[in-house]
Amino acid sequence: MGSHWQERQGKLTLVVLLSVMLLPGCAAVERPPDQASTIRPSGLDPVFPAQARCPAIASPFGSRTRYDGSLRPKWAFGGYHGGIDISLAEGTPLVALAAGTMVSKGEGGQLEGIYVWLRHSPDDTGLPYWVYSKYQHLESPSALPIGAKVAAGQVIARSGKTG
């Protein structure tokens, strides 16, 4: 992504990638051989607390263009956007979308920045499959250790402009 998105109206972008894994009982974080057959909408309806502010999606999943109308590079995911960008002020608290476990965190390259992965098991969500959520472009690494249990709505990191 780079600096072209970082300067847009003084706002920052957060990528949230939701990947639903249709592998009942699977506890490992691994990419199945045929990813296209395992990514599905959850069918869940979001429920937000009364005080929640829900900013608009700045760049949807699968978009071929960036926020400014320019085409995404073909070398990255075939030119398709691999996440959902939501513009937020730097330092905005980011909360877990559901109960789960911190399974990975680190710093990627230009398209990713500082990130965290959460794993949401069927016991956490009541769904018959595992759900993974990824938060990118964070301000700094999450203070939560790998293996930490998180509750829905718990602050896990803060938005940033890394990557």
pLDDT, one tens digit per residue, over 20-65 is: 333 333 333 333 344 445 556 666 676 667 777 778 788 788 888 8
Query: Given this model, what pLDDT does residue 118 score?
Result: 95
Return phi, psi of residue 2, to 5°.
80, -170
- Is residue 161 very low, low, confident or very high in pLDDT (cuts 50, 70, 90)? confident
- Is residue 19 very low, low, confident or very high in pLDDT (cuts 50, 70, 90)? very low
Structure tokens that stand for 12 in this block: 């920052």
Cβ(102)–Cβ(116) below 8 Å: yes
Q: In 117-159, which ranges are continuous DSSP H helix? A: 122-125
Cβ(133)–Cβ(16) below 8 Å: yes
DSSP assigned state of 53 = -
- Spatial distance between the Cα atoms of 16 and 150, rounded to a whole number of angstroms: 17
On the CB side of 35, how many CA atoms lie within 13 Å of its CA?
6
Structure tokens that stand for 48 in this block: 């937000």
How large is the average pLDDT for residues 128-140?
Answer: 90
Cross-strand bridge partners of residue 155: 95
Its pTM surpasses 0.85? no
pLDDT digits (tens, 9 = 90+) for 57-107: 887 888 888 777 888 888 877 888 877 888 888 999 999 989 999 999 999
Query: Torsion angle of alpha carbons 90, 145, 61, 5, nearest 10°?
Result: 30
Return phi, psi of residue 94, to 5°.
-110, 135
Which of 58, 54, 18, 24 lies closest to 39 in space, CA to CA? 18
- Is residue 127 very low, low, confident or very high in pLDDT (cuts 50, 70, 90)? confident
